[in-house]
Amino acid sequence: PDRLAVRLEEYRAVALWESAGDGATRLVSAFGEVFDANVGDVEDDRLPTLAGPEGSAPAMLALKARLDPVLARLDARIETLVLSDRGSWRVELDTGATVELGRGSDDEVIARTERFVGTLTQVTSRYRRALEFADLRHNEGYALRLKGISTGAAAAAAAAKTGKR
């Protein structure tokens, strides 16, 4: 009765958590626990951001851990990993590129990403342009947009907007 028991538990932040509902930024521990703390006190200013449905942080960390070495082959690092309410994945890379990974099991998402990474350098080296956007949601292929290259339809639409032909 005349004692006070104090138990401290240290959380190590490995990611930022963006909550869709309130727009508040919180932190994610290595165990996938979302917790409140002063984000300004975090020493690592390169923490990735996770954004997904409530309770999805552990699954997001698990997929991120599998995606990191695959995307590292592109000399890219995940800045933001998003999981939609419908279960579709998207990554924003530190290169400025966005990659729509689509839905499916973790193994399916990783397999699509592996195929993409395995062939992307052939395209980017041919055109000598950096990746701007990729959509891996297509069966047996992907669509992409390289920086500084537009399709005929996109160029025509842009010209029509500005009044130039």
pLDDT tens-digit readout, 34-87: 988 877 777 777 899 999 999 999 999 999 999 999 999 999 999 999 999 999
pLDDT tens digits, residue range 40-55?
Answer: 777 777 899 999 999 9
pLDDT higher than 70, residue 164? no
CB 109 within 8 A of CB 82: no
The DSSP bridge partners found for residue 24 are: none
> According to the model, what pLDDT value does residue 128 have?
92
**What is the band of 97 on the pLDDT scale with cuts at 50, 70, 90?**
very high
Q: Nearest CA to 13 among 82, 60, 58, 33? A: 33
pLDDT surpassing 70 at residue 156? no
Distances (CA, A) of 50 to 94, 142, 151, 163: 14, 24, 32, 41
Residue 165 pLDDT exceeds 60: no
Burial of 101 (0-12, 13-18, 19+ CB in 10 A): buried
Please name the residues in contact with 28: beta carbons below 8 A apart, sequence gap of 6 or more.
13, 14, 15, 16, 17, 34, 35, 50, 57, 61
Is the pLDDT assigned to residue 153 strictly greater than 80? no
**Percentage of the chain surpassing pLDDT 70?**
88
pLDDT at 85: 93
Mean pLDDT in residue range 97-103: 97
Task: Flag whether pLDDT at 21 surpasses 70.
Answer: no
